């Protein structure tokens, strides 16, 4: 049975926009190559960190929701640790209520984007 997971990772801010996108593509491709189904991706952009990490006070945040087998998580986190561009990551298994909340949040955000486009 496939479980649903959510991973947030922080990419070092010293990279250019293209380098940051390439790092995100690498992990998206890694998920797909290993049989994971990507449910949702969200780029949160450059944000201030709560505390300095590796003498950096900002980082590019990216969220990926995906479905996969539980054994795959260890391999994915090993890839995060090997990549110098990733300064932090967190993977959580999503329970039923978290999945429902995530779906509602995405619908609400989509409706807000439509409303903003209509106003412009």
pTM assigned to the model? 0.83
DSSP string across 78-116? HHHHH-TTEEEEEEEE--HHHHHHHHHHHHHHHHHHHHH
Confidence tier at 1 by pLDDT (50, 70, 90): confident
Is residue 51 helix, strand or coil?
strand
CATH class of the domain whose range is 3-119? alpha beta
Task: Indicate the pLDDT class of residue 120, thresholds 50, 70 and 90.
Answer: low
pLDDT (0 to 100) of residue 101: 86
Q: Domain-by-domain residue ranges, the chain? A: 3-119
Segment 60-117, tens digit of pLDDT: 999 999 999 888 999 999 999 999 999 999 999 988 888 888 888 888 888 887 887 7
């Amino acid at each position: 049975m496939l479980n649903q997971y959510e991973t947030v990772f922080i990419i070092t801010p010293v990279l250019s926009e293209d380098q940051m996108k390439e790092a995100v593509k690498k992990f998206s491709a890694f998920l797909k190559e290993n049989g994971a189904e990507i449910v949702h991706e969200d780029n949160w952009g450059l944000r201030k960190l709560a505390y300095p990490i590796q003498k950096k006070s900002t980082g590019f945040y990216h969220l990926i929701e995906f479905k996969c087998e539980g054994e795959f998580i260890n391999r994915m986190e090993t890839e995060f640790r090997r990549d110098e561009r990733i300064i932090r990551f967190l993977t959580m298994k999503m329970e039923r209520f978290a999945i429902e909340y995530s779906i509602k949040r995405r619908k609400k955000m989509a409706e807000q984007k439509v409303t903003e486009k209509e106003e412009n």
